Amino acid sequence: MFVDDPKEVRDADVSAIAALDEPTRRRLYDHVARQPCPVSRDEAAAALGLARQTAAFHLDRLAEESLLDVVYERRTGRAGPGAGRPAKLYRRSAKQFAVSLPDRRYELAGRLLAQSVEGSGATGEPVQEVLHRKAEELGTVLGEPGGGSVFDLLERYGFEPQHEEGAIVLGNCPFHALAREYTQTVCAMNLHLLRGALHGLGERGYTARLSPNPGRCCVRLEPVA
């Protein structure tokens, strides 16, 4: 669920959002998104007063960026020989795009919290204990072999790691707004997430500890003596 490379996802999201900066392309996207049914090139061109070739170019670019889905349907209502070729149609993609600076991972936190509430309701185990276990399990998955070094993993997930006197400090908290309001819950979740990541990576040179510091993530990776 969370194992897609976040850098690749973010780069794709940036590219998709940047594609909408072109005015004609944005108008076409907005038009297609408002329609209850898929739209053909001819229909889009006529609706916006564009040349068919221009509409086709921009619609295909939107599809390449996964902002639109392409479907093929016969508009004649006939099937079989003589029914003609299916028309190429466009509809808004169900894919969601999000870019934030600094990097934030609120969906990840939300899923962990929701899983913990449901798990607690099903078993009677305290929510906090379920949350810590789920966070550590997820961290272990994220840190499984092939993910590079601990520094690489922290960079991919937006923690902005920095070396400091043998330790690794984290310049950004991906759960910043939540951590400000629900500090104890979110920081403990983060601690267990990073402990799991160290375990998944097989990293024995560091241990994750809470070390609140203004302007930084609440977790610090200390070298093991």
SS3 of the chain: helix, strand, coil, percent, to 5:
50, 15, 35
Who contacts 50 (Cβ-Cβ below 8 Å, separation ≥6)? 24, 28, 44
pLDDT at 98 (0 to 100): 64
Domains 6-92 and 106-223 share a fold: no
Per-residue pLDDT of the chain (225 residues; tens, 9 = 90+): 444 566 666 677 778 888 888 999 999 999 999 999 999 999 999 999 999 999 999 999 999 999 999 999 876 655 555 556 788 999 999 887 765 555 778 888 999 999 999 999 999 999 999 999 999 999 999 888 666 789 999 988 889 999 999 999 999 999 999 999 999 999 999 999 999 999 999 999 999 999 988 888 999 999 997
| Residue positions counted in the chain | 225
Give domain limits for the chain.
6-92, 106-223
3-state secondary structure of 173: coil
Q: What is the pTM of this model?
A: 0.66
Pair 168, 221: CB distance under 8 Å: yes
- CATH 1.10.260 applies to domain 106-223: no
Residue tagged 């076409």 (tokens): 28
Q: Are strands 68-73 and 87-92 parallel, antiparallel or unpaired?
A: antiparallel
For the 6-92 domain, the top CATH level (class) is mainly alpha
pLDDT at 214 (0 to 100): 83
